[in-house]
Amino acid sequence: MPHLSGKRVVEFMPKLINAAGKEQITYEIQGPGDELQLRQAPLALYVQGLQRSSPGNAFLMVSDQALQHPELAEFLVPPSCFGPDRLDELPAELRPTAAAWLLVGGRGAESRLQRSSVATCTWNLLVLGRVRWHLLPPSTEVAQGRDADCSSSAVVGECLEDESCDSRTEVWEAEQGIGEVLLLPPGWRCRAHFEDRGLAVLGQQLPEASLALAAAQVAQQFDLRAEPEQPARCPGEVFSLAAKKASRRESRAGTP
């Protein structure tokens, strides 16, 4: 991603602060223990205060608003390795709510266990810092109970309240450095740990090569599995059926 590497990183930070530094963002102060506080501050002030972050008093924030400025668009080009993006072929009900997110954490901060979208791939470009990741494949069984209240640390996808996993669960680990891109296939779960101050840009795409995988995850999520004697549905048909089912769920939820 040459648009955000080398000297371009140096250019990005001043433009980000000039464009969005005065915007009020919500951030977490994590610790001590399981304690969690939500605070608000201008983005520039939050970034300046990251040096106070430490385990037991760690800062974490995510914002989709901070990157919605025309002067930042040149820095938000998705990774070229994806190839053509088929995201526009998804029904509106299955598309991401934002084009990109800004994630900024201090030393010792941890994100919740998050599930990436079942319909898209997620890319995460680390602009500054170093992050360790724990990754769980879609087949992982995670006890979740009721849905959690997704606060500012819920970057993309759904938050899971109960993060306990079976001891036999397959857990992948990755370490991400400056300028490196982490790519998550549809439906994977992830948790980030900031070893130092870090800033990342996240987005979602639907590469052509991932259409079948995304359709399979969406079909499982919305219980759209075809009968054995029926021909397999094409991705477009799966997405359309899922969108209709999601719309019906929303209608029922809004009915008194």
How many other CB atoms sit within 10 Å of the CB of residue 121?
25
The ranges of the chain annotated as CATH 2.60.120.650 are: 2-209
Contact status, residue 242 vs residue 94, Cβ threshold 8 Å:
yes
The continuous run of DSSP H or E covering 59 comes out as strand 58-63
CB-CB neighbours of 234 under 10 Å: 12
Verify cis geometry, omega within 30 degrees of 0, for the bond prior to 55: no
pLDDT digit of tens for each residue in the chain (256 aa)? 445 555 667 788 899 999 999 999 999 999 998 899 999 999 999 999 999 999 999 999 999 999 999 999 888 887 777 777 878 777 777 778 888 999 999 999 999 888 877 778 889 999 889 999 999 988 877 655 433 433 344 444 444 444 545 545 678 999 999 888 898 888 888 999 999 999 999 988 888 777 887 788 778 778 876 655 566 678 888 888 887 887 776 666 555 5
| Token pair belonging to 129 | 């810092």
Tokens matching residue 5:
């590497």
**Class of 2-209 per CATH?**
mainly beta
DSSP E strands, 129-206: 131-136, 158-159, 172-176, 181-184, 189-194, 198-205
Pairing of strands 121-128, 181-184: antiparallel
Residue 232 · residue 215 · CB < 8 Å: no
Task: Supply the pLDDT for residue 149.
Answer: 38
Residue type, 46: Y
**HSE of 138 in the Cβ direction (CA atoms, 13 Å)?**
19
The two tokens of residue 152 are 């500012």
Structure tokens at 180: 């490196």
* Residue 150, phi then psi, degrees to nearest 5: -80, 100
Q: Which two tokens stand for residue 216?
A: 């399979």
Question: Other CB atoms closer than 10 Å to residue 253's CB: what's the count?
Answer: 7
Q: Residue 142: what pLDDT?
A: 65
Nearest to 193 by CA among 174, 221, 214, 168: 174
pTM of the model as a whole: 0.77
Cα separation, 147 vs 149, whole angstroms? 7
